[in-house]
Structure 1
């Protein structure tokens, strides 16, 4: 018989275990979003227990996405708070490693944006965005020690570029057919390289002081 978590530490551990299970399920079957029963079984809890922590499957996956976003901001802030001067290459290296370490970040981020428009209650979506923007502002403040001209807008533009370029280049049967018939160049498949080039251009334009 499953023992119900009662104290805050046990509840947080169980919540994290559910998120871990859901993430592993997606990694094992990236072509589909796992249902709640499968997540519960993988986490070793009853299906009803999952609903004690998350009101829907969509809110569960939004929580995974928030965990990813928090991890990225933490990595950036940790580096930015060091005394060693930080350059654009350091920022891009953090981004590259994060994307390599978190393979479901891009597809999940894309899914979550759609879910928040259709399946996530407005107040839940707002609370997520409020927490995210608070972390974003904290990270921007840390980065301003090294990049005085950086601001929230540049970080949002960078995020839009990260998602938009991935959606444009991600492998799909349609894109393979387009390459096969030479509708698009077969060489345009190095996402990380193209992303770094695009971000470099964006950051240089935004962070280079204008000549008087």
Structure 2
């Protein structure tokens, strides 16, 4: 059913925008990115596709906003943990970062699309808004991270968080191959090419954090 009532107040517009993101997330959990259409999202909200453009000019802009919502929740969870106090070792911090990511599969699946897809087909103003938002989150979380990990050089928190996302972007697609690749990997002799995303992310993050805490040539535990 299509809703013909226009959202007129800022509150009602914000509420409808949230519903659009809710439905986009529901479809994203079920489908691949090419299979999620704006028409499907609009229909689930009760809007026409042209009406949806009043909230998001492109599919990429919509999913960029969804990414910000999911990443914001990830940052919130990490901040809550770090504010509990105490210190981490490289392995324990790597485990925390990996766990917060793998328990949010919708975010983990979206991260690989960011640089190559979601940041395209958006306006320069929207891109600047997005990068400003990311910088604001890093400005809060990075100092907490640096305080929680003895030996992490001051000012390197943003890099650690950025590299974490880069590892997710590279490893997640390998852990969720296409049906054809999955069938090929099941062939005798190809099992070594299978990537367990959760295990690989944990191992890679441990190596990353150790490398940032302990310069080359120093032993890191």
- TM value normalised by structure 1: 0.84
Q: Which residue of 2 is the match for residue 171 of structure 1?
A: 177
Indicate conservation of the 8 Å contact 1:80/1:86, yes or no: no
Q: Which residue of 2 is the match for residue 196 of structure 1?
A: 202
Provide the secondary structure at the position in 1 that maps to 2:192: coil
Q: Note the alpha carbon deviations across 1:160-198, whole angstroms, 9 max, x for none.
A: 112112233332223541552635615x33210121011
Pairing of 1:21-170 with structure 2 (within 5 A): 21-30=23-32, 32-88=34-90, 89=92, 92-100=95-103, 102-116=104-118, 118-147=120-149, 148-149=152-153, 150-170=156-176
Indicate conservation of the 8 Å contact 2:77/2:100, yes or no: no
Partner Cα separation in structure 2 for residue 155 and residue 166 of structure 1: 16
- Distance apart, 1:135 and its partner CA: 0.8
**Structure 1 stretches of 5 or more lacking a match?**
none
**Structure 2 stretches of 5 or more lacking a match?**
none
Which deviates more, 67-76 or 7-16? 7-16
Q: Which residue of 2 is the match for residue 205 of structure 1?
A: 211
Does 2:5 correspond to 1:9?
Answer: no
Provide the secondary structure at the position in 1 that maps to 2:61: helix
Q: Greater relative contact order (Cα 8 A, min sep 6): structure 1 or 2?
A: 2
Which deviates more, 13-22 or 116-125? 116-125
Provide the secondary structure at the position in 1 that maps to 2:76: helix
Provide the secondary structure at the position in 2 that maps to 1:120: coil
Partner Cα separation in structure 2 for residue 46 and residue 91 of structure 1: 45
Indicate conservation of the 8 Å contact 2:79/2:144, yes or no: yes
Please report the RMSD computed on the Cα atoms of aligned residues, expressed in angstroms.
2.5
